[in-house]
Amino acid sequence: DGGTSETPPWYPHVNRISSLTIGEGVTRIGDYAFMLCSFVTKVVIPESVTSMGDWAFWHCQSLKRITFPDRMVRFGEWAFYENESLQSVCIPEGVTTIPSSAFARCHKLTDVTIPDGVTVIETGAFPSYLDMAVVTCLAVIPPELGKDNFGLPAKILYVPAGSVEVYRKNAVWREAFETIAALP
């Protein structure tokens, strides 16, 4: 982590690791920490973790779901790049920025929940060429945040009931999603 050239002790065994449990008390998952753990299907992250570095879970292509701790406030660029099996992501409440390419090349990502605290969705944060089934925004996200960040066209965008018309009237959101509906 932090730009060191040290290799994690588990790196020679990445092809034999199927699950990861990060110990309570760890506060940060470092840059490149679990890259190339291609056979990992389960990750347990304790509540003590508040941030995750760049490329932390790059190419963990067997991981279908990941649950972030409620206290997490940041994850790095390219954090889940090429996680080809990842299907569902619920961004924690404390995260304000979804960084560049965080979920790029996650071909099976179909369900994304974005909390109301998100103020920045960087370019390419999500795959740009797949049909996301459901994106749930828990608050009004300005149209400029959605431009170039979601697969086009995605199926459904769920938004707060009072903001449905705001989204439907905006060309960026109309082009990005087939249906814009109130949160169920």
Contacts of 98 (CB under 8 A, 6+ apart): 91, 114, 118, 120, 121, 122, 125, 126, 149
Look at residue 5 and tell me whether its pLDDT is greater than 80: no
Q: Is residue 92 a contact partner of residue 72, using CB atoms and an 8 Å limit? A: yes
Pick 38 or 168 by higher pLDDT.
38
Which tens digits make up the pLDDT trace of 130-149?
445 556 665 556 555 555 55
Average pLDDT over residues 8-18: 88
Distance CA 102, CA 55 (A): 8
What's the whole-model pTM score? 0.74
Helix (H) or strand (E) holding 108, with range, is none
pLDDT, tens digit (0-9, with 9 covering 90-100), for 17-74: 999 999 999 999 999 999 999 999 999 999 999 999 999 999 999 999 888 999 999 9
Say how far apart CA 72 and CA 51 lie, in whole Å: 6
